[in-house]
Chain A
Amino acid sequence: MQRHGGGGRPWEKSLGETAEIQRDDHAAVAQAPRVAPPRPPVSDAADAALRRGDFRFRIGPFATRLALSSPLARRDFRAIYGEYPQYPADRAVDFHLRIAPTSLLRRWVRPNAMVQAGIGNAPFVPLPADLGFLALESAMNWMVATTADAWLMFHAGVVARKGRAVMMPGLSGAGKSTLTAGLAVSGWRLFSDEFALLRPETGLFHPYPRPVSLKNRSIDIIAERAGADRISRRFLKTPKGTVAYLKPPEEALRLMDVPASPALLLFPEYRPEERARIEELRPAELFALTRSASINCDRLGETAFTAIADLVARCRGFRLFYGNLDQGMTMVGELMERVA
C-alpha cells in the first residue's frame, strides 16, 4: 500500500513544489514589498468565531469548520468568502482546519502559517504568514482530493448552461482556470475550476464553486471582464508567482446545490503559436483521457470504471487548441450548440 497516497497527481506535485520553493524563497518573501491589506473590517462576531475556531461554512457538498489565528488571513478570508453561506453548528462538518503559526515564537518572529487538519502524513508545509489564506486553499484542495471518495473526482474545470455541464480537464498551465473563469463571468454557471465532482449513483456533476485561483497574466484578463471588485488582493511571490482569487458570481453560489448532467468533455490546450482548431476524440481515446484526469478512480475501483464508461458514453469529447481567451470561449459555446 502506498504510504503517501496515489502519486503523481497534479496538486500533489504542486504541493511538493510549494514545499521546495517555500524553503528557497522564504527570505525573499520576507523582504518582498507587502501589498497593503484591505482595510481592516470592524471586529465582529464572525471574526471572533474565526479566531476561536467556531466558524463553519459550506461550499457545495463540503462543510468546513475553521480556525484562523492571523488577523490578515481572517481579513483575506472574509473578503473572498464573505458571500458564502455559513453552516449551522449543530450539523456534521466534513473538514476541520486550523491555520496557525508553527509555534508561539513564529507568531512574531518571521511569522508563518501552518495547516492542522488531524491527518497523519499530510504534506503541509509552513507558509509565510501573509500567505495564510493560500495555506487554507491548498489544505481544502488536499482534503477534498484525498478524502471525498463518495464522489468520483476529476482534476478539471466545470461550467454549465441550461442544466448541461462541460467538463474541462487540464494540467496546470493548460489555461483551464482562465477559461473556466472567463466562461463563469460570461453567463455560464461556475461549478469549479479544480474539482469536477461526479456522483457515481446518478452520473450527475455537482457544483463545488470555490473562488477561482488566477495566476499572473490571467488576473488582469479576468479582472477586466469580471470587474475589479470581484477579484481579491494579489498574493505576491507565491510558489506559482502572483495569485489572486475570483469570487464566484452570485448565481453560482445561489445554485450550488443544483447538479447538471454531463454533455461535453473538452481537453483545452492554450497554444498561442499554433492554428486554433478542434479535434473530436474517439471513444477509446476519450475514455483513456478521462480516466487519467480522474483523481480517485484507483481508490473507487469498479465503481469508477463503470461511472467513467457511462460518462464517456453520454458525452462527446474534443481537444481544443486555442490562442486567446475569446477564441477558447467561442469554441466552447459552439460545441455546446452542436451537442444541444
Chain B
Amino acid sequence: MTPRGLRLLRLALTRPDALPRLGGAEWSELLFRARGSALLGRLAAEAERAGIMGELPPPVRDQLIAGKRAGELSRRRITWEVDRLKRAFFERPVKLVLLKGAAYAAADFPWAAGRVSSDIDVMVDRADLQLAEATLLAAGWQPVQHSAYDERYYREWMHEIPPLRHPDRGTLMDLHHTILPLTGRLRPDPAALLADARAIDGHIHVLSPADMLLHSIVHLFQDGAIRGGLRDLVDQRDMMVHFGADPAFWRDLVTRAEMFGLGRPLHYSVRYAVRLLDAPVPPEVVADIARRFAPPAPLGAVMDALVVKAIAPPFLFHGTRGSGLAARLLYMRSHWLRMPPGLLARHLARKAVARLRPAR
C-alpha cells in the first residue's frame, strides 16, 4: 500500500490539474513533504505548467512561489558555474562530463525546471584527474578542510576527490573519476561512460541517456542510503518519461546495465518508480528487467517494505512508525555495498572513535 504522502506527491506529478481540489490539510502535508524532499520547486513547476497557480489558496501559492524562486536561483548558479568551468578549462584538453543537477540544467532537460542542486558534480577520466584538479585550484577553488583520514578515504577508496569550494561564490564542487566507490562490489567501467558521453558545449559533456539514468540509480540504490531519496526517484521517473519516448532507449538501458553490472539497482528503480510514482514504463520492459535482475523473493519483499517506509520523509505530526528503523537498515545496507567487510569494520571503528572525541 502506498503511504498517503507518496500518493499526494504522485498526484502532483501525474495530475497537477487536480491540485486545486486538495483540502488545506492535504496541502499542508504535501508542501511539508515536498520541502523535506527538496521537491518544492518541482511542485511549483508542475503547478505553473498546468496553469493552476491562480486557483490555489494564497498560503499555498506563496510557498510554491518560494519553491520556484529556489529553483531559479539554483539554475542561475549552475549556469554561472558551468560558464566558469568553461573559462578555467579553456585550452585545456580535458573532457568534462557534468553529472546530476548540473547536467540536467546545462542540457536544459524539462525536469531541471524547479530543481535545486546543492553542488556541482563533474567527472573526468582518471588520467586527467591531476590536471583537472590543478586547473580548478588555479581557478580559485579550494579544498574544504578535512582530516588526513578523510583525505585518504577519498583518495584511495572513493570515486571522487575531497570536495572543493569556491571561496567567493560558496559553491561546492565534487570532482569524480568514476561513479561508484573504488571499494564497492560494483565497479562500472568509467572509460565506457566517458566514451559514450554527449558534447553539449565545447568540451562540456553530459552522460548518454541510459548512463545518465543509471548514474542517478546507482546514486540512490547502490551508493546512497535511500532515506529521503524521493527526489532522486522523481528524477529517474522524469528520465523514464523523457528518454523512454524513444523505444531504443529501453534496449540501451538494459544492455548498459548488464554491461556495468547495474541490473539489480535498475530493477529497484524501475519497480519503485512504477509502483510509487506511476512511471510510464512499458509493461514488457518492467517484466524483462525483473526477470533478469530481480533479487530472490524474500529479499525483494524486505526491500519493498523498507523503501516505501524510508524514501519519503515522515510527516512531523504522524507517528513515524518504522521509518527510522527502515532508514537505519538501508543505511547499513549502503555501507555494506560500499566496502568489503574488513575495510568497513575499520572505517566504522575509526568514525566511532572520532565521534567520541570532543568536536573542535
A and B together in one complex = yes
**A3, B118: Cβ atoms closer than 8 Å:** yes
- Residues of chain A with a CB closer than 8 A to B70's CB: 149, 299
- Residues of chain A with a CB closer than 8 A to B36's CB: 118-120
- Residues of chain A with a CB closer than 8 A to B61's CB: 150
**A65, B73: Cβ atoms closer than 8 Å:** no
Residue B25 interfacial (CB < 8 Å): yes
A187 → B minimal CB distance (Å):
30
Q: With a 10 A CB-CB cut-off, give which of B172, B313, B316 has the most chain A CB atoms.
A: B316
Q: With a 10 A CB-CB cut-off, give which of B57, B60, B66, B73 has the most chain A CB atoms.
A: B66
Residue A90 interfacial (CB < 8 Å): yes
Give the segment of B27-35, B122-130, B184-192 that binds chain A: B27-35
**B24, A92: Cβ atoms closer than 8 Å:** yes
- Residues of chain B with a CB closer than 8 A to A3's CB: 118-119, 172
- Residues of chain A with a CB closer than 8 A to B60's CB: 92
**B65, A1: Cβ atoms closer than 8 Å:** no
Interchain CA distance A303-B313 in the complex, whole Å: 32
- Residues of chain B with a CB closer than 8 A to A98's CB: 316-317
Contact flags (1/0) for B60-76 with A, using CB distance below 8 Å? 11110110011011101
A118-B59 in contact given A1-B170, A149-B65 (Cβ < 8 Å)? no
A323 → B minimal CB distance (Å):
40
Contact flags (1/0) for B65-105 with A, using CB distance below 8 Å? 11001101110110000000000000000000000000000
Residue A7 interfacial (CB < 8 Å): yes
**B63, A119: Cβ atoms closer than 8 Å:** no
Residue A116 interfacial (CB < 8 Å): yes
A149-B69 in contact given A2-B170, A89-B25, A96-B316 (Cβ < 8 Å)? yes
Q: Which single residue of chain B is at the shortest CB-CB distance from A300?
A: B69
B166 → A minimal CB distance (Å):
10
Contacting B at CB under 8 A, from A281-340, are 298-301, 303
B116 → A minimal CB distance (Å):
8
A67-B317 in contact given A90-B25, A94-B63 (Cβ < 8 Å)? yes
**B316, A118: Cβ atoms closer than 8 Å:** yes
Interchain CA distance A147-B172 in the complex, whole Å: 21
For the complex, count residues of A whose C-beta is within 8 A of B: 36
Residue B183 interfacial (CB < 8 Å): no
**A301, B76: Cβ atoms closer than 8 Å:** yes
Of the residues A118, A150, A151, contact of B32 by C-beta under 8 Å = A118
Contact flags (1/0) for B254-272 with A, using CB distance below 8 Å? 0000000000000000000
B74 → A minimal CB distance (Å):
7
- Residues of chain B with a CB closer than 8 A to A96's CB: 28, 32, 316-317
**B28, A148: Cβ atoms closer than 8 Å:** no
Contacting B at CB under 8 A, from A76-118, are 88-94, 96-98, 116-118
Contacting B at CB under 8 A, from A106-165, are 116-120, 147-151
**B23, A90: Cβ atoms closer than 8 Å:** yes
Across the A-B interface, how many residue pairs have beta carbons closer than 8 Å? Answer: 98
Interchain CA distance A299-B75 in the complex, whole Å: 11
Of the residues A2, A91, A148, contact of B62 by C-beta under 8 Å = A148
A65-B59 in contact given A89-B25, A299-B69 (Cβ < 8 Å)? no
**B317, A53: Cβ atoms closer than 8 Å:** yes
Residue B117 interfacial (CB < 8 Å): yes
Q: Which single residue of chain A is at the shortest CB-CB distance from B22?
A: A92
Interchain CA distance A280-B62 in the complex, whole Å: 36
* Chain B interface size range: 35 or more
- Residues of chain B with a CB closer than 8 A to A53's CB: 316-317
Contact flags (1/0) for B326-358 with A, using CB distance below 8 Å? 000000000000000000000000000000000
- Residues of chain B with a CB closer than 8 A to A149's CB: 65-66, 69-70
Residue A37 interfacial (CB < 8 Å): no
**A94, B59: Cβ atoms closer than 8 Å:** yes
Interchain CA distance A119-B228 in the complex, whole Å: 11
Interchain CA distance A303-B73 in the complex, whole Å: 11
Interchain CA distance A299-B169 in the complex, whole Å: 13
**A92, B31: Cβ atoms closer than 8 Å:** yes
A93-B170 in contact given A150-B62, A301-B72 (Cβ < 8 Å)? no
Residue A63 interfacial (CB < 8 Å): yes
Interchain CA distance A92-B22 in the complex, whole Å: 10
- Residues of chain A with a CB closer than 8 A to B142's CB: none
Residue A61 interfacial (CB < 8 Å): yes
Contacting A at CB under 8 A, from B3-50, are 23-25, 27-28, 31-32, 35-36
- Residues of chain A with a CB closer than 8 A to B74's CB: 1
Residue B171 interfacial (CB < 8 Å): yes
Interchain CA distance A21-B274 in the complex, whole Å: 50
- Residues of chain A with a CB closer than 8 A to B119's CB: 1, 3
Interchain CA distance A119-B23 in the complex, whole Å: 23
**B63, A7: Cβ atoms closer than 8 Å:** no
Interchain CA distance A255-B25 in the complex, whole Å: 26
B132 → A minimal CB distance (Å):
20
- Residues of chain B with a CB closer than 8 A to A300's CB: 69
**A1, B172: Cβ atoms closer than 8 Å:** yes
Q: Which single residue of chain A is at the shortest CB-CB distance from B76?
A: A301
**A88, B24: Cβ atoms closer than 8 Å:** yes
- Residues of chain B with a CB closer than 8 A to A65's CB: 28, 317
**A147, B65: Cβ atoms closer than 8 Å:** no
A7-B316 in contact given A93-B28, A94-B63 (Cβ < 8 Å)? no
- Residues of chain B with a CB closer than 8 A to A88's CB: 24
Interchain CA distance A7-B76 in the complex, whole Å: 18
B319 → A minimal CB distance (Å):
11
Q: Which single residue of chain B is at the shortest CB-CB distance from A3?
A: B118
- Residues of chain B with a CB closer than 8 A to A92's CB: 24-25, 27-28, 31, 57, 59-60, 63
> Which 3 residue pairs of A and B lie closest in terms of their CB atoms, listed nearest first?
A149-B66, A150-B62, A92-B27
Can you name 11 A-B pairs with beta carbons within 8 Å?
Answer: A1-B117, A53-B316, A61-B59, A91-B59, A92-B24, A93-B24, A98-B317, A118-B315, A147-B66, A299-B69, A299-B70
Given A92-B63, A120-B228; 13 other pairs, CB 8 A cutoff: A1-B120, A3-B118, A3-B119, A67-B317, A88-B24, A90-B24, A94-B62, A119-B35, A120-B36, A149-B69, A149-B70, A299-B69, A299-B70
Interface of A toward B, CB cutoff 8 Å? 1-3, 7, 53-54, 61-63, 65, 67, 88-94, 96-98, 116-120, 147-151, 298-301, 303
